[in-house]
Amino acid sequence: MASLVEELVSILKEEEHIYKVLLDYGEQKRQILIAGDVPSLEELTGLEQNASDMLLSYSNKQVRVLSDIATVLGKGEEKMTVTRLIGLLETQPEVQKQLTAARDALLDSATKMQRLNQQNEVLIRQAIELAEFDLTLFKSMRQAPETANYDKNAYNTGSILGSTGFDAKQ
């Protein structure tokens, strides 16, 4: 049982380390988004994907170890979580303290990562809006304005000026 808890603490620490790496990538991504450097963004996204894959692997290990701990404790029917395990370890305060510290550090890193992702999401949305604005502006620059030509019933004919901007006959 003690070795399983030690393995769980180790896994939680590894997950926290990966979150810290992802936080660093997130900070870099913010600067890349501000600079509009698409090639660097593509490269960084690949690195983030690798780190996320490692995080998923550790998460699966965590679930497996928690399942093993639940089996050892005879709690197989209910879903074992780190918080529930901390509650069950009241008789072992030192192990409980280690597990609590690892869990709290992981939750703190995950919360920071979530906040940073939300900020980067806002930056990405703004970049997309700016690109759409630029496209609309370029499209409108290629179109000439409607003239104020009216037919005999005083309706606008909707004539559009030519590409030169002048509608004069010589």
Structural domain contains residue 126? yes
Length of the chain: 170
What are 28's two structure tokens? 């870099």
Structural domain contains residue 163? no
Structural domain of residue 74, as residue ranges? 2-142
Structural domain contains residue 160? no
CATH number, position 78: 1.20.58
Residue 55: per-residue pLDDT:
94
pLDDT in tens, 132-152: 988 888 877 766 555 666 677
Burial class (CB in 10 A: 0-12, 13-18, 19+), 33: buried
8 A C-beta contact, residue 124 and residue 38? no
What Cα–Cα distance (Å) separates residue 147 from each residue in 5, 48, 165, 166?
A: 79, 54, 10, 10
Q: What is the mean pLDDT of residues 39-62?
A: 94
Which range has the top average pLDDT, 11-15, 72-76, 84-88? 11-15
Structural domain contains residue 170? no
Average pLDDT, rounded, for the chain: 85
Query: Could you tell me which residue, 2 or 109, shows the higher pLDDT?
Result: 109
Structural domain contains residue 159? no
Structural domain contains residue 42? yes
* Total domain count, the chain: 1
Q: What is the mean pLDDT of residues 114-129?
A: 91
Structural domain contains residue 154? no
Structural domain contains residue 129? yes
